[in-house]
Amino acid sequence: MSIRPLVGSGEIVERVASTRSALDMSWLDGRVRLDHRHWQSAETDVVWTAPQHLLVLTDSGRTARTLMRANGKVVYDGADYAGALTFVPAGTERRNVYLDARLSYTALWIDPSFGSSALPDGIGITNARDEVLRVLIASLRDELLAGWGPSVGYVEHLTALVLDRLAAVGGRAASPLPPARHAALSRPASERVRDYVRAHVGTDLSIKDMAAVAGLAPDSFARRFKATTGMSPYAFVLEERVRQAEALLAETREPIGGIAIQLGFASQSHLTSTFRRQRGITPLAFRANFIPRS
């Protein structure tokens, strides 16, 4: 499937993909825009250039691999993890490849006319950590998800703080994502474990069972699984349960309590609290988006 980018020009080619927008807000005549989505894709190729600056926070989830090129140079080859930040200056051509993406992200688009003259030339942050930037973006996202509409003055102030922080770190102070300290799983072992979890998601999955599928001892498996996916085995199981819950909520009228038990949650309240934490919305509210209107 080929689609156009949300902002700017270019092309996005996806295979076995789905995306759901949880937020899309703009202020100051479109000079500032926040987009929060949940995205899954087996493989995505992106070629795009935007006239706005872009700051992206990976809220949760991961990719198996992310390859990023900026203006013809490889700037990152690894994986996306929760908490990762990427800043792309306006006018930068990006050519990115994402494999097995299952994540939620928040994107803040800022027009260059918004006081960005202080940004250093050539600034760029790629899959790095900076707690100040993370808190600024996450706070705006969380307030919008909670239903509170911030004033224009608030958004102006927050955006100015983001730009000031970007100018301060200049791509240098933001710490890169730490390299994996343990060897990753082989691709066949990783795929066997993923297939096993998807097929047995409604059972009481244990690390011992998952490790046996990979042919490893449980302690070694847990370390290598996190090095491969950026998630603990338990977090991966929860993410898969939530993903399958999304499909059942959208495609069936099965009671939410029944979905919870079918997918291995302890109760409906366990599903609801986990779903809200990982998707920013309750299962009931999510399902409402798919109920045909009369």
- Residue 214 sits in the same domain as residue 117: no
53 and 118, same domain (yes or no): yes
Helix axes 233-251, 268-279, angle to 10 degrees: 100
The letter for the amino acid at 183 is A
Total of domains in the chain: 2
DSSP 197-257: HHHTTTS---HHHHHHHHTS-HHHHHHHHHHHHSS-HHHHHHHHHHHHHHHHHHH----HH
- Reference 41, options 10, 58, 25, 65; nearest CA is 65
Q: How many residues does the chain have?
A: 294
From 176, 208, 224, give the residue that closes a domain.
Answer: 176
**Cα dihedral across residues 131, 145, 279, 171: positive or negative:** negative
Per-residue pLDDT of the chain (294 residues; tens, 9 = 90+): 444 556 656 566 666 567 777 889 999 899 999 999 988 888 888 888 889 999 999 988 888 888 888 877 888 888 888 888 999 888 888 888 888 888 889 999 999 888 655 676 666 788 888 888 988 998 888 888 878 878 888 899 899 889 888 888 865 544 444 444 557 788 889 899 999 999 999 998 888 899 999 999 888 888 888 888 877 888 889 889 998 999 999 889 999 999 999 999 989 999 999 998 888 889 998 898 876 544
- Supply the range of the domain harboring residue 171: 2-176
SS3 string of 18-52?
A: EEEEEEEEEECCCCEEEEEEEEEEEEEEEEEECCC
DSSP-derived 3-state class of residue 10: strand
114 & 258 share domain: no
* Domain's final residue, options 176, 203, 230: 176
| Residue 294 within a domain | no
What's the confidence (pLDDT) of residue 268? 93
* Together in a domain, 116 and 200: no
181 inside domain: no
Asked whether residue 218 falls in the same domain as residue 94, the answer is: no
User: Does one domain contain both 16 and 151?
Assistant: yes
Interatomic CA distance for residues 110 and 242, integer angstroms: 32
Cα(202)–Cα(132) distance, rounded to whole angstroms? 39
Half-sphere exposure in the Cβ direction for 90 (13 Å, CA): 14
Q: Is residue 89 part of a domain?
A: yes
- Residue 143 counted as domain residue: yes
Q: Would 91 be classed as within a structural domain?
A: yes
53 and 150 assigned to the same domain: yes
Question: Is residue 202 located within the same domain as residue 283?
Answer: yes
Q: What pLDDT was estimated at residue 248?
A: 93
Query: For the CA atoms of the chain, what is the radius of gyration?
Result: 20
- Say if residue 34 is in the same domain as residue 172: yes
Q: Specify the CATH number for the domain of residue 32.
A: 2.60.120.10
Residue 192 domain-assigned? Answer: yes
* DSSP conformation class of 136: H
- Collapsing DSSP to helix, strand or coil, 169 comes out as helix
Supply the pLDDT for residue 137. 92
Q: Are residues 68 and 206 in the same domain?
A: no
| Within a domain: 270 | yes
Written as one letter, the residue type at 166 is L
- pLDDT at residue 258 in the model: 95
DSSP class of residue 120 equals P
Residue where one domain finishes, among candidates 176, 199, 227: 176
The CATH number of the domain holding residue 284 is 1.10.10.60
Same domain, 86 and 116: yes
Same domain, 194 and 110: no
H/E stretch holding 116? none
Whether residue 259 lies inside any domain: the answer is yes
Quote the pLDDT of residue 3: 47
